Amino acid sequence: NAGVMQNPRHLVRRRGQEARLRCSPMKGHSHVYWYRQLPEEGLKFMVYLQKENIIDESGMPKERFSAEFPKEGPSILRIQQVVRGDSAAYFCASSRRDGGNEQFFGPGTRLTVL
Amino acid sequence: DAKTTQPPSMDCAEGRAANLPCNHSTISGNEYVYWYRQIHSQGPQYIIHGLKNNETNEMASLIITEDRKSSTLILPHATLRDTAVYYCIVRVESGGSNYKLTFGKGTLLTVNP
């Protein structure tokens, strides 16, 4: 069973560009969560999605950030007009059901904004 | 969710038991204690969780005090690959916004040869 897959693993963008991060959940999982980890800090919840629905985006900045989980294909976290403060590791997790006692995490995407 | 307190770092000799403490004095009756770990440059990995009884799985044991205000994660025979940041998280099992895992700074466990 493949685990949660994220790509790219490393992404470098210049200020003002767009960053697009992808997450494929584990097989059989229909719940996806995105977290951000700033340097030397713990992970912070950003958004929770089910197929075609955003359940909770309370942890996501209201501007420049958006997330989707289409019926087909991976979940996408999109950051428009990136700034240096967006440099962080972005982790995706998935679970089989709502809440999910066990959220399985992907390896993360490390975004560096120059 | 209740707040947790963990020591910032601990050392352990390879082959010995690693005992990682966590204080959660404001835990509610319906909140579980979860442990995750994050090996450098990887995503967090679920280890174990429990409500009030002690729990054991292939990775670790979880000892929760009778008053539930603290717990200890035990790695019985630590290896070098157990070097990681260990996070203690308190959350309800279902309902509300229990899906929001709240990670503090955790304990950096260093297993030494």
Q: What is the pLDDT of residues A93-104, one digit of tens each?
A: 998 876 556 789
Which pLDDT does position A96 carry in this prediction?
Answer: 84
Residues B87 and B35: beta-carbon distance below 8 Å: yes
Is the Cβ of B98 closer than 8 Å to some Cβ of chain A?
yes
Q: How far apart are CA B65 and CA B12, in angstroms?
A: 23
Q: Is pLDDT of A32 > 60?
A: yes
DSSP class of residue B5?
A: B
Which residue of chain A has the CA closest to B41? A107
Residue A40 pLDDT: 80
Nearest CA in chain A to B94: A99
Residue B77 has pLDDT above 90, yes or no: yes
CA dihedral B23, B29, B30, B32 (to 10 degrees): 20
User: Is B43 an 8 Å CB contact of chain A?
Assistant: yes
Q: Does B99 touch chain A (CB under 8 A)?
A: yes
Ramachandran bin of B59, using left for φ above 0, alpha for ψ from -120 to 50, beta for the remaining angles: alpha
pLDDT tens profile A16-27: 999 999 999 999
User: How many Cβ contacts (< 8 angstroms) between chains A and B?
Assistant: 57
Tell me the pLDDT tens digit for each residue of A42-84: 899 999 999 889 999 999 999 999 999 999 999 999 999 999 9
pLDDT on residue B97 = 74
B95: contact with A, CB 8 A cutoff: yes
Q: Do A56 and B103 touch (CB under 8 A)?
A: no
Residue A98 burial by Cβ neighbours in a 10 Å radius (0-12, 13-18, 19+): middle
In terms of residues, how long is chain B?
Answer: 113
- Residue from the list A4, A103, A107 with its beta carbon closest to the beta carbon of B101: A103
